[in-house]
Amino acid sequence: MANPLQPVRGTRDLIGEDAARHAFVVDTARRITALYGFSEWQTPIFEDTKVFSRTLGETSDVVTKEMYTFDDRGGDSITLRPEGTAGVCRALITNGLTQTLPQKVFYAGPMFRYERPQKGRYRQFHQIGVELLGPTIPLADAEVIACGWDILKALGIAKDVILNINTLGDAESRQNYRAILVEYFTRFADSLSEDSKVRLEKNPLRILDSKDEGDRAIVADAPAAAAYLSEAATRFYTELKQQLDRFGVPFVENSGIVRGLDYYNHTAFEFVTTALGAQGTVMGGGRYDGLVEQMGGPNVPGIGWGAGIDRLAMLLEQPPRSTPSVIVIGAERAIEVAGYLRQHGVKAEIAFQNNLKNALKFANRVNAKWAVIADADRLQVKNLEDGSQAETALEALTGVLKQ
């Protein structure tokens, strides 16, 4: 016998409780974002490689080490999406929506990164996210963050999560800060990792994102961006904090929350938990006012976040409860009875077992609440929780089940 086939490393099957948890996270996020006025978009799982290489930065770890990139049969370079924001911004441009702002977008789906699999992170992972495109005021940032907070509350995990916020400043602030960073990191150039030596020449802010332990030690003493904020950037950050207070979203300020690419500005934030060990970020985002323009569109500001469904699902205390089933037993009328129940919004399964005893065992295994025994001339409803049983007519069946 041949060896059984296995899933590719870094992937997994979503079955049973895992599937239920995953669906609960997505359904909850879909419901909460709709209350905020977000519409769901679905962009392709693969895009032209430039959608990501141009936007994530040629020196980023994602582009240089983690993207699943290949040439298709036509010779075009294609990449499986490693994140959701770039595809949404590309869709905004190609669908001619840059003139009808604001656009409030929710998305959910699989992403792909070639990295070492670890707790809550896979090479095919799943994300939810929102993007608010158009507004430039701190209220937009605060509402996007508040929407994420409401999702965490609806999932019942907010008590284990704390919001960390920081400001990256405006273009003037970042230019000043960049010059200070170049001066600082140049003093440690010989001690930087090879990746960060390249970043020092091309984009020194990327060093702040480095995962290398030696780099992290140098970054720990680097000047903070807050000391180089312009007056306008300071006002923006102050108003953001005021708006978060009005939304009732608790937060702490953390100067270590950074985004290295030039199109990020002002707000950067992460929702962090200690319940998953070292892998603590469950939702993160920021303002990216230059991204759409960098992709070839007009100047359209944006603010958004992404969250790992896999990690959020791990934080759920209890698996979501499924709707109790009604098991219909009886070959002669099972199709008729199950069809009637389904038309009236009742979850009904037909038992395929050949005898009553085995059918009732199946009903108990799937935690059904009732069994309907459908003989040719009568219906018996059996309550599987207390064992009681009653006869009823088909047209009265849903009323009996509700009672």
pLDDT tens per residue, range 82-115 = 999 999 999 999 999 999 999 999 999 999 999 8
160 vs 323, more confident: 160
**Contact indicator for 41, 109 with CB cutoff of 8 Å:** no
Is residue 110 within 8 Å of residue 310, measured between CB atoms? Answer: no
**Domain positions in the chain:** 17-170+230-315, 326-402
Q: Is the predicted pLDDT of residue 279 greater than 70, yes or no? A: no
- Does the pTM surpass 0.85? The reply is yes
- For residue 1, what is the enclosing H or E element? none
Q: What is the mean pLDDT of the chain?
A: 90
Q: Which range, 56-60, 94-98, 223-227, 335-339, has the best average confidence (pLDDT)? A: 94-98
The percentage of residues in the chain with a pLDDT greater than 70, rounded to a whole number, is: 96
CATH number of the domain located at residue range(s) 326-402 in this protein: 3.40.50.800
Between 21-25, 34-38, 367-371, 396-400, the lowest mean confidence (pLDDT) is in: 396-400
Tokens 């006025």 label which residue? 37
Q: What is the per-residue pLDDT for 43? A: 98
195 vs 340: which has the higher pLDDT: 340
The pLDDT tens digits of the residues spanning 140-173 come to: 999 999 999 999 999 999 998 999 999 989 988 8
| Domain 17-170+230-315 CATH superfamily | Bira Bifunctional Protein; Domain 2 (3.30.930.10)
Mean predicted confidence (pLDDT) in 314-318: 89
Instruction: Encode 106-121: b = buried (16+ Cβ within 10 Å), e = exposed.
Output: bbbbebbbeeeeeebe
pLDDT at site 60: 61
Give yes or no for residue 63 having a pLDDT over 70: no
Residue 256 pLDDT > 90, yes or no? no
